[in-house]
Structure 1
Amino acid sequence: MTLAISTRVNAERFWSTIEQSAEIGKGREGGLSRLALTDADKEMRDLFVSWCRDAGLSVSIDRAGSIFGRRAGQDNDLPPIVLGSHLDTQVNGGRFDGIVGVLGALEVVRTLNDLGHVTRRPIEIVNWTNEEGSRFSPPMVASGCFAGAYDLDWVHARPADDGPTFGDELKRIDYLGDAPVGGRPLDSYFELHVEQGPILDAEKVQVGVVTHGYPSFGALVEYRGETAHTGPWPMEKRRNALLAAARLLVAVDDIGWDFAGSGGKATAARLIAWPNKPGILSDWAQAVCDVRHNDEEAAEVMAERLRRAVHEAAAKTGCQAEILDTWSWGGRIFDESLIKLVRQTAGHLGYSHRDLPSQAGHDAYFMARICPTTMIFTPCRDGITHNNRELAAQDETVPGVNVLLHSVVARADR
């Protein structure tokens, strides 16, 4: 059973949830700083759980802290359709990145409740833990664990920048659930998200049909050198770990510029060192960097240059280098039948739409490893995200929520 073509979500109700979310964990003016497993994240989680229960959903929390709200179907033995995103933000984050996907999913089930429509398959909405990776590295760690990419004990041991571990903070905020992480069949996964790019806004297109993700490679690199006085110690004897990490990051930035003409991007994301004080050389440093390109072969060339740059920086500074962690995602990972469904749904509803890639990482990338997966993009003003000036408008966002509603129901009722 499909919905009437005229069926739409309650736009005002959906936007009210966005606005209530925007009051929790405020950062710079207009933005949010709601880092994973902080008190602000707990407050938002508590509100989300209450909304789920008010909508008649049964709530479960897995051992990675991800929250699932399940709406029963006509045949609950069938694997569920899952839709959602994340409620945590960057340190200087916006009010929409991830949040639109979770609260858009909530609005889908609320609308189905209004209609009295029970889908054949059950529907679950999800808030994934620590998508951003701002407080615990790497990003998308909970969805990665759900998909089998990370071991749960390893996830629980991830240290926060401010000291405690992932597992400790789950316990502290009372979101260490008892549900297993993954290991169960899913029918499919849908993720609605603001574009995090300027294309839809610049072209005044209402809905983005995500065809693939930029192939991306990232690394966490550690350098070890030797402390010494910055005055008398001879240059030829210096082993400055801070300098080694800085050389790597400059080299990575150069890689990005070498491929910028064809759409490649490279990021020097982070540098920390110890002691990192005047008058003394640092004997330890860590750097985080990544490269990405729409062309898979070009992305691999960039990744290989990054790997070489790690050891070249060590050689030039007399330091030891170790790649502590790597991650990669993207490519042609999304399900063609779901892409077609989203595209056709947008057309049937009368919305302008276009195909485009995702240039950022998302939980959907890991979910694509275990079930058919697709993404839907909505416009973001000027394409700026991970910034307090991130801006989306109600009338520009709701079309994507309506496409999510109709696509999910078509999938769930087949």
Structure 2
Amino acid sequence: MNETLSTEVNVPAIDGERLWQTLMELAVIGGTPKGGCNRQALTELDREGRELLIRWCEAEGLAVRFDAIGNLFARRDGSNADADPVVIGSHIDTQPTGGKYDGCFGVLAALEVIRTLNANGIGTERPIELVSWTNEEGCRFAPCMMGSGVFAGQLTLEDALSRTDVDGITAGEALEAIGYVGDDANRPGRFAAYLEAHIEQGPILEDEGKTIGVVTGALGLKWFDVTVTGMAAHSGSTPMHLRRDALLGATRVVEAVNRIALAHQPDGRGTVGAFQLLPNSRNVIPGQVTLSVDFRHSEGEVLDAIVTEFRQTLDAIARETGLSIEIAPTADYPPQHFAADCIAAVRQGAQANGYAHRDIVSGAGHDAVFIGDIAPAAMIFIPCEKGISHNESEYAAPEDVTAGANVLLHATLNLAGLAAGAAA
């Protein structure tokens, strides 16, 4: 793997207008009246999106195939057929009220890299594989990052295919229905490197006026469901001092989540995102509250310490209030620290193009987090307006989309290496 790209190589610029038009064309599939996109995984709209992507890949001479979970791989051969490939991409499924850029930018930036290499007659030593991972969002079938999770061994194929949606349809049935059940023999073997371009999904780059985020890793996360149980009772007949109000206890849990996260800055995150009240009636004291808890940090030891403190706090709240509090883990992903060579390739790409950049840690989960466990990996972030994502108003400026793809091209060439005698 090349640590630096020769300064004698004139790396061409990608066609920003072509990339933008490609993004807009894909966004038509599942487009919403508010300008977003609803193209959930393993639906008919997902099938249409896949078919469009395949047409574009085959037009560039790429060999397209699928593995057993439906991950799409499109190969551009290198001069060394035995070399491990450099893999670039992301996902094209969206949230129900998602935007045009989340995931899709990474896949289509990868396509634009290959289009640019083809248009300029540039060969690479290593093969380049475009990938579009199945069901990154996890909104129809949990968990998120399903395709990359199966690929990396974080989730078994059998488990993934057995997951059901709200209508009881399994992921396996849905994958078969759209016609994209592949064969694991189609998987590429080891990756020489994996690069994923993505919108930041946060406000840091925009706030600091930076064009490129050189992603050095991703926060680890631990998710829990917390159930606070008291006693449902009449709101008028029960004196305040005799109440066992589950919601009152739950509010203390929310306060604790925020207090503990704030004590572990700058990377500490703590969120309560979902509440369920029983019986949820205006004249009944809540008897039970279930809430979600999401903790994140860049260091595993600190994340463990956060959870330990949280559990101790729950015990204290239960003792002080007389409420029952139960905690059930629902997800546990360790922090990811990306590979130094891949990070350096991204940073050099930003520098070579003269883009303002900064190192950044991803607060969101991405396919690169799983792939980083089995291969050298890194990510490229571009700004998104006001940090908004998973929203129909999600937006990335055309010049930033172009910049991110230029950095991806430069980093890909760095890691794939020029074929012997290739000119650029």
Do these two structures clear the TM 0.5 threshold for a shared fold by scoring above it? yes
Q: 2:415 matched to 1:411?
A: yes
- The answer to whether the Cα contact below 8 Å between 1:223 and 1:314 also exists between their aligned partners in 2 is no
Within the candidate set 136, 142, 145, 2:141 is matched to 136
Do the aligned partners of residues 289 and 36 (structure 1) sit closer, same or farther apart at CA in structure 2, a change above 3 Å counting? farther
Greater relative contact order (Cα < 8 A, sep 6+): 2
Q: What does residue 422 of structure 2 align with?
A: none
Which residue is equivalent to 1:349?
Answer: 353
Cα distance between partner residues in 2 of 1:377 and 1:86 = 15
Which residue in the other structure is 2:19 paired with? 14
Higher mean C-alpha displacement, 305-314 vs 259-268: 305-314
State how 1:319-330 maps to structure 2 within 5 Å. 322-323=328-329, 325-330=330-335
Deviation track 1:362-414 (CA, whole Å, cap 9, x = no partner) reads 11011110111011111111211112221101112211101111110121116
Aligned match for 2:130, one of 125, 135, 140: 125
Aligned mates of 2:151, 2:208 — CA distance in 1:
36
Instruction: Kindly provide the amino acid, as one letter, of the partner of residue 255 in structure 1.
Output: V
CA distance in 2, matches of 1:349, 1:136: 40
Tell me the CA shift for residue 109 of structure 1.
0.8
Secondary structure of the 2:189 match is: coil
Deviations, residues 104-160 of structure 1 (Å, cap 9, x unaligned): 001111111111222111111111111112122221121111111111111111122
Q: Which amino acid aligns with 1:371?
A: A
Residue 376 of structure 2 is aligned with which of 372, 377, 401?
A: 372
* 8 Å contact kept, 2:90–2:131: yes
Aligned positions of 1:310-325 closer than 5 A: 318=324, 322-323=328-329, 325=330
Q: Which amino acid aligns with 2:63?
A: S
Letter in structure 1 aligned against 2:398: Q
TM-aligned CA deviation for residue 326 of structure 1? 2.1
**Residue 260 of structure 1 aligns with which residue?**
262
Find out whether 1:210 has 2:215 as its counterpart: yes
Alignment match, 2:197: 192
Give the 5 Å matches for 1:85-124: 85-124=90-129
Of 108-117 and 269-278, deviating more is 269-278
Q: Distance in 1 between matches of 2:12 and 2:201?
A: 28
- SS of the residue corresponding to residue 132 of structure 2 reads strand
Contact 2:231–2:285 (8 Å) recurs in 1: yes
Q: Which amino acid aligns with 1:80?
A: P
- Deviations for 1:162-198, whole angstroms, at most 9, x for unmatched residues? 4312111111111222235868211110000111122
Instruction: Find the aligned partners of 1:121 and 1:200 in 2 and give their Cα distance.
Output: 32
Partner SS for 2:394: coil
Task: Identify which of 79, 94, 97 aligns with 1:74.
Answer: 79
Question: Are residue 201 (structure 1) and residue 203 (structure 2) matched?
Answer: no
Q: Which runs of 5+ in 2 are unaligned?
A: 419-424
Q: Kindly indicate whether residue 28 of structure 2 is the aligned counterpart of residue 23 of structure 1.
A: yes
Task: Check the 8 A contact 1:62/1:180 in 2, yes or no.
Answer: yes
Identity across the alignment (%)? 37
Q: Report the TM-score when normalising by structure 2.
A: 0.84
Counterpart of 2:156 in structure 1: which amino acid?
D
Aligned equivalents of 1:274 and 1:35: distance in 2?
Answer: 31
Q: Which moved more, 1:404-413 or 1:183-192?
A: 183-192
Unaligned runs of 5+ in 1: none
Alignment partners' CA distance in 1, 2:332 and 2:186: 20
Amino acid at match of 2:34: E
| Residues 8-48 of structure 1: per-residue CA shift (max 9 Å, x gap) | 11111111111012212134612122222122222211211
Q: 1:385 aligns with which of 367, 384, 389?
A: 389
Measure, in 1, the Cα distance between the counterparts of 2:31 and 2:119.
Answer: 32
**Separation in structure 1 between the aligned mates of residue 285 and residue 69 of structure 2, nearest angstrom:** 39
- Quick one: structure 1 residues 97 and 162, their matched pair in 2 at CA, closer, same or farther if it must change by over 3 Å? same
C-alpha change, 1:314 and 1:268, in structure 2 (3 Å) is same
Q: Do the aligned partners of residues 28 and 254 (structure 1) sit closer, same or farther apart at CA in structure 2, a change above 3 Å counting?
A: farther
TM-score (ref. length: structure 1):
0.86
Q: SS at 1:269's partner residue?
A: coil
SS in 2 for 1:292: strand
User: Partners in 2 of 1:329 and 1:215 — Cα distance?
Assistant: 4
The whole-number CA distance in structure 1 between the counterparts of 2:196 and 2:308 is 31
CA distance in 2, matches of 1:196, 1:390: 9
Distance (Å, rounded) in 1 between the aligned partners of 2:258 and 2:186:
36
* Residue pair 1:147, 1:182 contacting (<8 A) in 2 also: no
- Pick from 152, 159, 165 the counterpart of residue 154 of structure 1: 159
Residue type at the aligned position of 2:125: R
Give the letter for the 1:394 counterpart: P
Contact 2:256/2:313 (<8 A) preserved: no
